[in-house]
Amino acid sequence: MKSVSFVIPFYNESESIEETVSVVLSILKKMTDDFELILVNDGSIDDSLPKVLKAFSQENSLLVISHGINKGLGAAIRTGFDAAQKDIVVYSDMDMPFDFHLLPEILKTMPNDVDILRGIRSSDRENWIRKIYSFGFKTFIYALFGYSFADPNFALKIFNRKQLQSLNLNSDGSFIDAEILLEALKLGYKIETIDIEYKHRQHGTSHLANFKNIFRILKEALSYKFKSVKNKVENNHAL
């Protein structure tokens, strides 16, 4: 088994953080001797941070990084990716959106020539608001970029770190999920999907499906599109 970095961003996850960290550490310890669990605290204002620091103070393989303010999902993910040092980098959420005990088998069967492996929900999803959000996100990305990504914002993505380091990621918000795939396609990376049974959130509430976050996605997506067009025009002029 290759070495593994597991990246989990969080914001106000006091109800779930101890359980999730305990589960992930247990799984990683059974998988490999060479791993790290990287938690990125995105400016939480509850007791998530002191709770996890106290409960797992003796865990040498646990790295906790904190943003002084809430910067957004994309910023937290990028912070975690920048800190990752192992061969394989796994990203997921603190609410454990799938059965994390499946991870060893998923990694074992991941083909060597695949640069990014990402999960797609195979079972019933969230409430109707989140369903509309997910459908709208997918449709918007297709309309703007011409790519139809199935379930692009599901929080299971696995990378070879060497390829991950080559991705030019700049999003601070939830556009990060689409940006990862768009950047990977630019570089000709091989992306494969795996069907995963979705687990509904058991504790706390999601902070993603709100107007502020949706507006940020629109803003970052349009900015990404503008930069792509600008770079294409500049490259054509240089020929």
pLDDT in tens, the chain (239 residues): 799 999 999 999 999 999 999 999 999 999 999 999 999 999 999 999 999 999 999 999 999 999 999 999 999 999 999 999 999 999 999 999 999 999 999 999 999 999 999 999 987 656 677 777 778 888 889 999 999 898 888 999 999 999 999 999 999 999 999 999 999 999 999 999 999 999 877 766 666 667 788 899 999 999 999 887 666 555 555 55
For strand 116-121 and strand 191-196, is the pairing parallel, antiparallel, or unpaired? parallel
The domain of 196 spans 4-238
Q: Please give the Cα distance from 198 to 138 (Å, whole number).
A: 18
pTM for the model stands at 0.90
Helix or strand holding residue 235 (H, E):
helix 211-238
In eight-state DSSP terms, residue 162 is H
Please state the domain count of the chain: 1
3 state SS of 168:
coil
Q: Please give the Cα distance from 30 to 40 (Å, whole number).
A: 23
CATH number of the domain encompassing residue 14? 3.90.550.10
Helix or strand holding residue 194 (H, E):
strand 191-196
- Residues β-bridged to residue 92: 156
